[in-house]
Chains A and B, each alone.
Chain A
Amino acid sequence: MKKTIYLILIMLVFSACIKYPEWDNPGTNGLAVLYTNYYILTEINPVLKRDTVSYTGSAILLNDTVKYNKFFIQTFLDGNLISENTAFSGTDCSDEPNPYCVPPEEQKYFVNKIQSIEISANKPYNTNENNFAIYFRDKELHYTQKNYIGEELGYTPLKTELTAPPDSSQWFVFTIKITDDKNNVFTSSTDSIFVLN
Protein backbone atom coordinates (compact mmCIF):
# COMPACT_ATOMS: atom_id res chain seq x y z
CA MET A 1 0.00 0.00 0.00
CA LYS A 2 2.77 2.40 1.00
CA LYS A 3 4.69 1.58 -2.15
CA THR A 4 1.63 2.35 -4.28
CA ILE A 5 1.19 5.72 -2.60
CA TYR A 6 4.85 6.60 -3.13
CA LEU A 7 4.60 5.50 -6.75
CA ILE A 8 1.52 7.66 -7.36
CA LEU A 9 3.22 10.67 -5.75
CA ILE A 10 6.35 10.22 -7.88
CA MET A 11 4.23 9.81 -11.04
CA LEU A 12 2.31 12.99 -10.23
CA VAL A 13 5.50 14.99 -9.79
CA PHE A 14 7.09 13.71 -12.98
CA SER A 15 3.94 14.07 -15.08
CA ALA A 16 3.66 17.68 -13.95
CA CYS A 17 7.19 18.63 -14.89
CA ILE A 18 7.55 17.25 -18.42
CA LYS A 19 7.91 19.41 -21.52
CA TYR A 20 9.03 22.78 -20.29
CA PRO A 21 10.69 24.49 -23.23
CA GLU A 22 13.39 27.04 -22.59
CA TRP A 23 13.74 30.17 -24.68
CA ASP A 24 16.82 30.95 -26.70
CA ASN A 25 19.20 33.61 -25.50
CA PRO A 26 18.58 37.14 -26.80
CA GLY A 27 19.65 37.59 -30.42
CA THR A 28 23.34 36.92 -30.62
CA ASN A 29 23.31 36.34 -34.36
CA GLY A 30 22.39 39.89 -35.37
CA LEU A 31 18.64 39.26 -35.39
CA ALA A 32 16.41 40.59 -32.64
CA VAL A 33 14.32 38.05 -30.75
CA LEU A 34 10.68 39.06 -30.53
CA TYR A 35 9.01 38.53 -27.21
CA THR A 36 5.49 39.28 -25.99
CA ASN A 37 4.37 41.36 -23.05
CA TYR A 38 0.68 41.38 -22.14
CA TYR A 39 -1.26 44.58 -21.62
CA ILE A 40 -4.75 45.88 -20.93
CA LEU A 41 -5.93 48.66 -23.20
CA THR A 42 -6.17 52.24 -21.95
CA GLU A 43 -5.93 54.30 -25.14
CA ILE A 44 -5.94 54.03 -28.89
CA ASN A 45 -4.22 56.20 -31.45
CA PRO A 46 -5.26 55.85 -35.10
CA VAL A 47 -2.81 57.10 -37.73
CA LEU A 48 -3.30 57.39 -41.47
CA LYS A 49 -0.73 55.58 -43.60
CA ARG A 50 -0.10 55.40 -47.32
CA ASP A 51 0.65 52.13 -49.19
CA THR A 52 -1.68 49.28 -48.29
CA VAL A 53 0.79 46.61 -49.48
CA SER A 54 3.39 47.22 -46.79
CA TYR A 55 2.28 46.50 -43.25
CA THR A 56 4.10 49.49 -41.78
CA GLY A 57 3.03 51.89 -44.52
CA SER A 58 4.45 55.38 -44.97
CA ALA A 59 3.34 58.69 -43.51
CA ILE A 60 0.68 60.81 -45.17
CA LEU A 61 1.64 64.47 -45.24
CA LEU A 62 -0.65 67.27 -44.10
CA ASN A 63 -3.13 68.36 -46.80
CA ASP A 64 -2.16 65.31 -48.86
CA THR A 65 -4.76 63.67 -51.09
CA VAL A 66 -5.02 59.96 -51.58
CA LYS A 67 -7.22 57.46 -53.39
CA TYR A 68 -9.53 55.45 -51.11
CA ASN A 69 -7.75 52.12 -51.73
CA LYS A 70 -4.21 53.50 -51.45
CA PHE A 71 -4.20 54.25 -47.75
CA PHE A 72 -5.17 52.61 -44.48
CA ILE A 73 -5.79 53.49 -40.84
CA GLN A 74 -3.22 52.05 -38.46
CA THR A 75 -4.58 51.95 -34.92
CA PHE A 76 -1.86 51.82 -32.28
CA LEU A 77 -2.94 50.41 -28.93
CA ASP A 78 -1.43 51.40 -25.62
CA GLY A 79 -2.11 50.37 -22.05
CA ASN A 80 -0.96 48.97 -18.74
CA LEU A 81 1.42 46.04 -18.50
CA ILE A 82 -0.17 43.08 -16.72
CA SER A 83 2.11 40.19 -17.58
CA GLU A 84 5.80 40.70 -18.12
CA ASN A 85 8.08 38.36 -20.00
CA THR A 86 10.67 37.95 -17.27
CA ALA A 87 13.15 36.12 -19.48
CA PHE A 88 13.66 39.01 -21.91
CA SER A 89 12.40 42.19 -20.21
CA GLY A 90 15.32 44.31 -19.14
CA THR A 91 17.99 42.30 -20.97
CA ASP A 92 20.38 44.32 -23.08
CA CYS A 93 23.63 43.86 -24.94
CA SER A 94 25.74 46.39 -23.03
CA ASP A 95 27.62 43.66 -21.15
CA GLU A 96 27.64 41.24 -24.06
CA PRO A 97 31.06 40.84 -25.75
CA ASN A 98 29.41 39.53 -28.93
CA PRO A 99 29.28 42.47 -31.41
CA TYR A 100 26.29 40.84 -33.16
CA CYS A 101 24.15 40.89 -30.03
CA VAL A 102 20.84 42.63 -30.63
CA PRO A 103 18.52 43.45 -27.71
CA PRO A 104 15.21 41.55 -27.74
CA GLU A 105 12.22 43.43 -29.08
CA GLU A 106 8.97 43.77 -27.17
CA GLN A 107 5.64 43.06 -28.86
CA LYS A 108 2.59 44.36 -27.04
CA TYR A 109 -0.37 42.00 -26.82
CA PHE A 110 -3.71 43.31 -25.57
CA VAL A 111 -5.94 40.92 -23.66
CA ASN A 112 -9.18 42.93 -23.75
CA LYS A 113 -11.90 40.90 -25.41
CA ILE A 114 -13.72 42.74 -28.16
CA GLN A 115 -17.41 43.46 -27.85
CA SER A 116 -17.50 45.75 -30.89
CA ILE A 117 -15.35 47.87 -33.16
CA GLU A 118 -17.09 50.74 -34.92
CA ILE A 119 -15.46 52.90 -37.56
CA SER A 120 -17.24 55.97 -38.83
CA ALA A 121 -16.57 59.06 -40.94
CA ASN A 122 -17.48 62.59 -39.90
CA LYS A 123 -19.78 62.97 -42.93
CA PRO A 124 -21.76 60.55 -45.13
CA TYR A 125 -19.24 58.38 -46.93
CA ASN A 126 -21.44 56.39 -49.28
CA THR A 127 -24.68 54.41 -49.17
CA ASN A 128 -23.04 51.11 -48.14
CA GLU A 129 -23.48 49.93 -44.58
CA ASN A 130 -19.95 48.67 -44.09
CA ASN A 131 -17.03 50.29 -45.87
CA PHE A 132 -14.20 49.06 -43.66
CA ALA A 133 -12.20 45.87 -43.30
CA ILE A 134 -10.26 45.35 -40.05
CA TYR A 135 -7.07 43.28 -40.00
CA PHE A 136 -5.40 41.91 -36.86
CA ARG A 137 -1.69 41.36 -36.44
CA ASP A 138 -0.22 38.08 -35.34
CA LYS A 139 3.13 37.40 -33.68
CA GLU A 140 4.86 37.00 -37.03
CA LEU A 141 3.79 40.50 -38.16
CA HIS A 142 1.21 39.14 -40.61
CA TYR A 143 -2.23 40.69 -40.84
CA THR A 144 -5.40 38.64 -41.10
CA GLN A 145 -9.07 39.45 -41.15
CA LYS A 146 -11.10 37.41 -38.69
CA ASN A 147 -14.40 37.18 -36.91
CA TYR A 148 -13.25 39.25 -33.98
CA ILE A 149 -16.26 39.46 -31.64
CA GLY A 150 -15.28 37.84 -28.33
CA GLU A 151 -11.64 37.55 -29.39
CA GLU A 152 -8.76 39.31 -27.67
CA LEU A 153 -7.51 42.50 -29.33
CA GLY A 154 -4.10 40.91 -29.79
CA TYR A 155 -0.95 42.56 -31.05
CA THR A 156 -0.76 46.27 -31.81
CA PRO A 157 -1.32 47.90 -34.30
CA LEU A 158 -4.60 47.05 -35.99
CA LYS A 159 -5.05 47.85 -39.65
CA THR A 160 -8.25 49.15 -41.25
CA GLU A 161 -8.76 49.47 -44.98
CA LEU A 162 -11.56 51.13 -46.92
CA THR A 163 -13.35 48.64 -49.11
CA ALA A 164 -15.43 51.05 -51.21
CA PRO A 165 -14.96 54.56 -52.63
CA PRO A 166 -16.78 57.60 -51.24
CA ASP A 167 -19.68 59.09 -53.20
CA SER A 168 -17.59 62.17 -53.87
CA SER A 169 -14.01 63.21 -53.31
CA GLN A 170 -13.82 65.26 -50.11
CA TRP A 171 -12.17 65.71 -46.71
CA PHE A 172 -12.88 63.04 -44.09
CA VAL A 173 -12.05 62.43 -40.46
CA PHE A 174 -12.41 58.80 -39.37
CA THR A 175 -13.31 57.82 -35.82
CA ILE A 176 -12.59 54.42 -34.29
CA LYS A 177 -14.56 53.20 -31.30
CA ILE A 178 -13.54 49.98 -29.55
CA THR A 179 -15.78 48.49 -26.84
CA ASP A 180 -14.45 45.61 -24.78
CA ASP A 181 -16.32 42.90 -22.87
CA LYS A 182 -16.17 44.90 -19.62
CA ASN A 183 -17.97 47.78 -21.42
CA ASN A 184 -14.89 50.02 -21.52
CA VAL A 185 -15.12 52.32 -24.54
CA PHE A 186 -12.04 53.68 -26.32
CA THR A 187 -12.56 56.31 -28.98
CA SER A 188 -10.15 58.31 -31.10
CA SER A 189 -10.12 60.10 -34.45
CA THR A 190 -7.62 60.39 -37.27
CA ASP A 191 -6.31 63.59 -38.85
CA SER A 192 -8.40 64.81 -41.76
CA ILE A 193 -7.59 63.46 -45.20
CA PHE A 194 -8.82 64.27 -48.70
CA VAL A 195 -10.08 60.97 -50.12
CA LEU A 196 -10.40 60.59 -53.91
CA ASN A 197 -13.11 58.25 -55.15
Chain B
Amino acid sequence: MKYKLIIFIVLLFADFSVFSQDVNSSDTNNNLTFELSAGKIFSPYRFYKNHTGYENFSFGVSKKLFKHGGAVLSQSYGRVFSKTTNNRTLVMTTTISPYITFFADKKINLRFSSGTGLICLNTKTLYNIYPINEKIYGIPIKGNIAVLYKLKNNLALNLNIDTNYSFLFNGNYKLLINDPYYYKTFFYSINIGINYTL
Protein backbone atom coordinates (compact mmCIF):
# COMPACT_ATOMS: atom_id res chain seq x y z
CA MET B 1 0.00 0.00 0.00
CA LYS B 2 2.87 2.33 0.97
CA TYR B 3 4.59 1.80 -2.39
CA LYS B 4 1.41 2.35 -4.37
CA LEU B 5 1.08 5.65 -2.55
CA ILE B 6 4.70 6.59 -3.43
CA ILE B 7 4.12 5.74 -7.10
CA PHE B 8 0.93 7.77 -7.08
CA ILE B 9 2.67 10.80 -5.52
CA VAL B 10 5.55 10.62 -8.02
CA LEU B 11 3.13 10.53 -10.93
CA LEU B 12 1.15 13.37 -9.39
CA PHE B 13 4.28 15.53 -9.10
CA ALA B 14 5.18 14.62 -12.64
CA ASP B 15 1.74 15.83 -13.70
CA PHE B 16 2.13 19.09 -11.79
CA SER B 17 5.53 19.79 -13.29
CA VAL B 18 4.31 18.94 -16.77
CA PHE B 19 1.10 20.96 -16.69
CA SER B 20 2.82 23.96 -15.14
CA GLN B 21 4.70 24.40 -18.42
CA ASP B 22 3.39 26.40 -21.33
CA VAL B 23 2.01 23.50 -23.29
CA ASN B 24 0.59 25.76 -25.98
CA SER B 25 4.02 26.39 -27.32
CA SER B 26 4.31 24.72 -30.66
CA ASP B 27 8.07 25.02 -30.79
CA THR B 28 9.09 21.39 -30.91
CA ASN B 29 12.12 21.80 -33.14
CA ASN B 30 14.46 20.84 -30.34
CA ASN B 31 12.76 17.46 -29.89
CA LEU B 32 14.34 16.82 -26.53
CA THR B 33 11.95 14.71 -24.49
CA PHE B 34 11.97 14.05 -20.77
CA GLU B 35 10.54 10.74 -19.69
CA LEU B 36 9.40 9.68 -16.26
CA SER B 37 7.75 6.38 -15.52
CA ALA B 38 7.03 4.15 -12.56
CA GLY B 39 5.97 0.54 -12.31
CA LYS B 40 6.90 -2.88 -11.02
CA ILE B 41 10.08 -4.85 -11.50
CA PHE B 42 10.25 -8.65 -11.90
CA SER B 43 13.27 -10.90 -11.38
CA PRO B 44 12.70 -14.41 -12.69
CA TYR B 45 16.27 -15.57 -13.27
CA ARG B 46 19.18 -17.22 -11.45
CA PHE B 47 20.37 -15.48 -8.26
CA TYR B 48 17.28 -13.28 -8.11
CA LYS B 49 14.87 -16.08 -9.07
CA ASN B 50 13.21 -16.26 -5.67
CA HIS B 51 13.14 -12.52 -5.15
CA THR B 52 9.92 -10.57 -5.23
CA GLY B 53 9.96 -7.42 -7.29
CA TYR B 54 8.66 -4.14 -5.97
CA GLU B 55 8.66 -0.62 -7.34
CA ASN B 56 10.63 0.53 -10.34
CA PHE B 57 11.31 4.13 -11.34
CA SER B 58 12.72 5.18 -14.64
CA PHE B 59 13.99 8.58 -15.78
CA GLY B 60 15.09 9.32 -19.29
CA VAL B 61 16.03 11.97 -21.81
CA SER B 62 15.52 11.23 -25.46
CA LYS B 63 16.60 13.16 -28.50
CA LYS B 64 14.90 12.81 -31.84
CA LEU B 65 17.61 12.56 -34.48
CA PHE B 66 15.43 11.91 -37.51
CA LYS B 67 11.72 11.48 -38.22
CA HIS B 68 11.39 7.88 -37.04
CA GLY B 69 14.26 7.55 -34.63
CA GLY B 70 16.69 8.89 -32.13
CA ALA B 71 18.44 7.94 -28.92
CA VAL B 72 17.37 7.73 -25.30
CA LEU B 73 19.54 7.99 -22.20
CA SER B 74 17.76 6.44 -19.25
CA GLN B 75 18.34 5.55 -15.66
CA SER B 76 16.14 3.23 -13.64
CA TYR B 77 15.93 2.15 -10.03
CA GLY B 78 14.14 -1.01 -8.96
CA ARG B 79 13.91 -2.90 -5.70
CA VAL B 80 13.65 -6.64 -5.16
CA PHE B 81 13.47 -8.61 -1.93
CA SER B 82 13.84 -12.26 -0.98
CA LYS B 83 11.89 -13.63 1.99
CA THR B 84 14.02 -16.78 1.97
CA THR B 85 17.33 -15.03 2.44
CA ASN B 86 16.13 -11.68 3.82
CA ASN B 87 18.13 -9.91 1.13
CA ARG B 88 17.13 -6.63 -0.46
CA THR B 89 18.62 -5.54 -3.76
CA LEU B 90 18.52 -2.17 -5.44
CA VAL B 91 18.81 -2.59 -9.19
CA MET B 92 20.29 0.54 -10.78
CA THR B 93 20.60 0.64 -14.54
CA THR B 94 22.00 3.40 -16.73
CA THR B 95 21.68 2.81 -20.46
CA ILE B 96 21.89 4.55 -23.77
CA SER B 97 19.69 3.14 -26.49
CA PRO B 98 18.90 4.06 -30.08
CA TYR B 99 15.17 3.88 -30.82
CA ILE B 100 12.83 3.73 -33.74
CA THR B 101 9.21 4.80 -33.81
CA PHE B 102 6.58 3.48 -36.17
CA PHE B 103 3.68 5.93 -36.18
CA ALA B 104 5.27 9.27 -35.42
CA ASP B 105 2.36 11.28 -36.81
CA LYS B 106 -0.39 9.24 -35.21
CA LYS B 107 -1.98 9.66 -31.79
CA ILE B 108 -0.76 6.24 -30.70
CA ASN B 109 2.89 5.62 -31.41
CA LEU B 110 4.99 2.50 -30.96
CA ARG B 111 8.65 2.78 -30.02
CA PHE B 112 11.31 0.06 -29.92
CA SER B 113 14.67 0.72 -28.37
CA SER B 114 17.67 -1.41 -27.59
CA GLY B 115 20.99 -0.54 -26.05
CA THR B 116 23.52 -1.09 -23.34
CA GLY B 117 25.20 0.68 -20.44
CA LEU B 118 25.97 -0.20 -16.85
CA ILE B 119 24.03 -2.09 -14.19
CA CYS B 120 24.76 -1.88 -10.47
CA LEU B 121 23.21 -4.34 -8.05
CA ASN B 122 23.42 -3.26 -4.43
CA THR B 123 22.51 -6.29 -2.33
CA LYS B 124 22.08 -6.08 1.40
CA THR B 125 21.27 -8.71 4.04
CA LEU B 126 18.76 -7.34 6.49
CA TYR B 127 19.92 -9.38 9.49
CA ASN B 128 21.22 -6.99 12.14
CA ILE B 129 23.48 -9.61 13.66
CA TYR B 130 25.83 -9.76 10.66
CA PRO B 131 25.07 -7.08 8.06
CA ILE B 132 26.55 -7.58 4.60
CA ASN B 133 26.27 -5.01 1.87
CA GLU B 134 27.85 -5.54 -1.51
CA LYS B 135 27.77 -3.90 -4.89
CA ILE B 136 28.31 -5.76 -8.09
CA TYR B 137 28.45 -4.26 -11.58
CA GLY B 138 27.72 -5.54 -15.03
CA ILE B 139 26.70 -4.76 -18.56
CA PRO B 140 23.02 -4.93 -19.41
CA ILE B 141 21.56 -5.62 -22.82
CA LYS B 142 18.44 -3.57 -22.72
CA GLY B 143 15.28 -3.86 -24.74
CA ASN B 144 12.34 -1.55 -24.40
CA ILE B 145 8.94 -1.49 -26.06
CA ALA B 146 6.86 1.59 -25.42
CA VAL B 147 3.39 2.57 -26.47
CA LEU B 148 3.04 6.35 -26.51
CA TYR B 149 -0.38 7.94 -26.41
CA LYS B 150 -0.23 11.58 -27.43
CA LEU B 151 -2.24 13.70 -24.99
CA LYS B 152 -1.16 17.07 -26.36
CA ASN B 153 1.34 18.34 -28.88
CA ASN B 154 4.27 17.88 -26.51
CA LEU B 155 2.82 15.54 -23.92
CA ALA B 156 2.36 11.80 -24.16
CA LEU B 157 1.36 8.96 -21.92
CA ASN B 158 3.97 6.24 -21.93
CA LEU B 159 3.31 2.55 -21.25
CA ASN B 160 6.48 0.54 -21.55
CA ILE B 161 8.04 -2.86 -20.94
CA ASP B 162 11.70 -2.71 -20.08
CA THR B 163 13.98 -5.78 -20.12
CA ASN B 164 17.57 -6.04 -18.95
CA TYR B 165 19.60 -9.17 -19.55
CA SER B 166 22.88 -8.52 -17.79
CA PHE B 167 26.35 -9.99 -17.73
CA LEU B 168 27.95 -9.15 -14.42
CA PHE B 169 31.68 -8.59 -14.28
CA ASN B 170 33.30 -11.82 -13.16
CA GLY B 171 36.46 -12.42 -11.22
CA ASN B 172 35.49 -10.67 -8.01
CA TYR B 173 34.46 -13.09 -5.29
CA LYS B 174 31.63 -11.85 -3.12
CA LEU B 175 29.84 -13.31 -0.16
CA LEU B 176 26.32 -13.15 -1.54
CA ILE B 177 26.74 -13.46 -5.28
CA ASN B 178 29.39 -16.11 -4.99
CA ASP B 179 29.32 -18.26 -8.08
CA PRO B 180 29.87 -17.57 -11.79
CA TYR B 181 26.48 -19.23 -12.36
CA TYR B 182 24.90 -16.06 -11.01
CA TYR B 183 26.81 -13.74 -13.30
CA LYS B 184 23.92 -13.67 -15.72
CA THR B 185 20.82 -11.91 -14.49
CA PHE B 186 17.58 -10.87 -16.03
CA PHE B 187 15.13 -8.24 -14.86
CA TYR B 188 12.10 -6.82 -16.54
CA SER B 189 9.68 -4.13 -15.53
CA ILE B 190 6.31 -2.83 -16.62
CA ASN B 191 5.96 0.92 -16.25
CA ILE B 192 3.58 3.72 -16.95
CA GLY B 193 4.57 7.36 -17.12
CA ILE B 194 4.69 10.60 -18.99
CA ASN B 195 6.83 11.99 -21.82
CA TYR B 196 7.22 15.73 -22.09
CA THR B 197 8.81 17.24 -25.17
CA LEU B 198 10.48 20.62 -24.93
On A, residues with C-beta under 8 Å from B are: 9, 12-13, 16-17, 19-23, 38, 40-42, 80-87, 89, 111-112, 180, 182, 184
Contact = CB atoms under 8 A, between A and B. Distances in A.
Nearest to A41: B130
A112 B46 CA distance: 24
For the complex of A and B, 7 pairs with smallest distance between CB atoms:
A17-B167, A16-B167, A40-B130, A86-B49, A83-B176, A16-B139, A82-B125
A87 B45 CA distance: 10
Contacts of B179: 85
B127 A20 contact: no
Given A16-B167, A87-B181, A82 B139 contact: no
Contacts of A81: 84-85
Nearest to B125: A82
Given A83-B178, A84-B84, A9 B127 contact: no
B197 interface: no
Interface of B: 46-47, 49-50, 82, 84-87, 116, 125, 127, 129-132, 138-139, 141, 167-170, 175-184
B181 A22 contact: yes
Contact of B139 (A13, A19, A112): A13
B180 A38 contact: no
A118 B49 CA distance: 40
Given A9-B116, A86-B47, A40 B167 contact: no
A66 B167 CA distance: 56
Nearest to B46: A86
Given A86-B49, A180-B130, 20 more contacts: A13-B167, A16-B138, A16-B167, A19-B180, A20-B184, A21-B180, A21-B181, A38-B175, A40-B127, A80-B86, A80-B127, A80-B129, A81-B84, A82-B132, A82-B176, A83-B87, A83-B175, A83-B178, A84-B84, A86-B50
Contacts of A86: 46-47, 49-50, 182
Which of A20, A23, A87, A111 is packed against the most chain B CB atoms within 10 Å? A20
Nearest to B174: A83
A111 B168 CA distance: 22
Given A19-B170, A40-B130, A82 B49 contact: no
B176 A42 contact: no
Given A13-B139, A111-B132, A184-B129, A84 B175 contact: no
17 contacts: A13-B116, A16-B170, A17-B139, A40-B127, A40-B129, A40-B130, A42-B129, A80-B86, A83-B178, A84-B84, A86-B46, A86-B47, A86-B50, A87-B46, A180-B130, A182-B129, A184-B130
Contacts of A12: 116, 139
A84 B84 CA distance: 8
Contacts of B141: 13
Contacts of B82: 84
Nearest to A87: B181
Contacts of B130: 40-41, 111-112, 180, 182, 184
Contacts of B181: 20-23, 87
B168 A83 contact: no
Contacts of A111: 130, 132, 175
A93 to B, nearest CB: 20
Contacts of A38: 175-176, 178
Contacts of A112: 130
Contacts of B168: 16
Contacts of B178: 38, 83
B167 to A, nearest CB: 4
Contacts of B46: 86-87
A109 to B, nearest CB: 9
